[in-house]
Amino acid sequence: MSHPIAPHGSAQLRPLLVPAEERIAALAHAATLPRLTVSSREAGDIIMLGIGGFTPLSGFMGHADWHGVVTEMKLASGLFWPIPITLSTSAEQAEGLALGQELALADAAGNLLAILTLEEKYRIDKALEAREVFRTEDPAHPGVAALYAQGEVNLGGSLRVLSEGDFPERFPGVYLTPAQTRGLIAERGWKTVAAFQTRNPMHRSHEYLAKIALEVCDGVLIHSLLGNLKAGDIPSEVRVQAIDALTGKYFVEDSVISAGYPLDMRYAGPREALLHALFRQNYGCTHLIVGRDHAGVGDYYGPFDAQRVFDELPAGSLLTQPLKIDWTFWCEACASMASTKTCPHDASQRLLLSGSKLRKLLSEGGEVPAQFSRPEVLDILRAYYAGLEAHERVEVTLVGASAK
């Protein structure tokens, strides 16, 4: 048995989920409290807080933590943290809330998720958060749009989490908590583990990145986002099925753990890459694979901004380190996957692979080059697109490198 890397800022995980034997009473108590409906992003954050994915946070951030994270990527305590974890509400609802009172937090379907002990009410400068976290104030950016749409007042306070939502039922064996992934890592005796972040089914370039990591690490955690995506992205259930088909046939047995986590994408590019590394540390990973356009959207970020941001951190900010991998592609002359570090041939020989390009080809019924993805994966994705009604199809626009 190995001992996985320590959690972020703590000697042990700090899950906020109420123990199972206390949950019935806690749910009954929550049903008597004033109720606040949270957004999908906030619901995912609640669950991550509940399972210890956001160790060592004890709840939603107050103003000092929010301001420190936005401007300096530090909590008020000085601990590194790259993206605010906040809860908001309308000014009208906030006006009627008293500090010290308890609030029940529920999702859009009315399911009780947590009890918040309100410790702070504060307004924020949304434009400042947009500029610092997303590097843009453009409301067309999906993360900025979500920020501008949130309530005027943030609520800070500690949480008692009551539920993991429907993730355990929807994704049995895939949705795993940090304690569970750490247990698997320890059982396999892995000392070095690279996390591969994905919100797309894995094409050949993704597969190549994971296999490069396997050459230098004991194992890879293929960690699939299970929360909400932007319109046109492939649903989590389909993505998980495609990943399982790929790993089952094209990876050495027991070299990977395929799992999922409950967050929505923020599309914050470099800042989100840092958050991905931070909570992968809590999941037991020593490394995070950072390739081209990690956590990006559109052309808001340079293709390797998410790699460079790690170089700007003060020493000791994170234990989990980036595995920076250059532009990867299929090279006809090499007759294999390659990168700009290994392939001497010019652009005419290179087929650049991207999730958005694959989605565009499939959504339009186009021919997908055999080098783009494994046939087992393409079969699953073609079946998904064939089952969509016309009104369910979203036009995929290619920008930046994906358009080449």
For residues 218 and 190, the answer to whether their CB atoms sit within 8 Å is: yes
Q: In Å, what is the CA distance from 83 to each residue of 114, 118, 178, 266, 375?
A: 21, 21, 19, 10, 38
Residues whose CB falls within 8 Å of the CB of residue 53, separated by 6 or more in sequence, listed in order: 47, 177, 178, 261, 279, 282, 283
How big is the CA angle at 18 (ends 93 and 108), to the nearest 5 degrees?
A: 40
H-type alpha helices, 120-172: 126-129, 142-149, 167-170
Alpha carbons 42 and 37: distance in angstroms, whole number: 10
DSSP class of 171: S
What is the C-alpha radius of gyration for the chain, rounded to an integer number of angstroms? 21
Place of tokens 């994915």: 53
User: Which residues belong to the active site?
Assistant: 199-200
The token duo for 7 is: 């959690």
Look up tokens 């900010």; give the residue: 317
Asked whether 198 and 224 are in contact (CB, 8 A), the reply is yes
Q: Is the bond preceding residue 56 a cis peptide, omega within 30 degrees? A: yes
CA-to-CA distance for 30 and 25, rounded, in angstroms? 9
Q: Alpha-carbon distance 195 to 279, whole Å?
A: 10
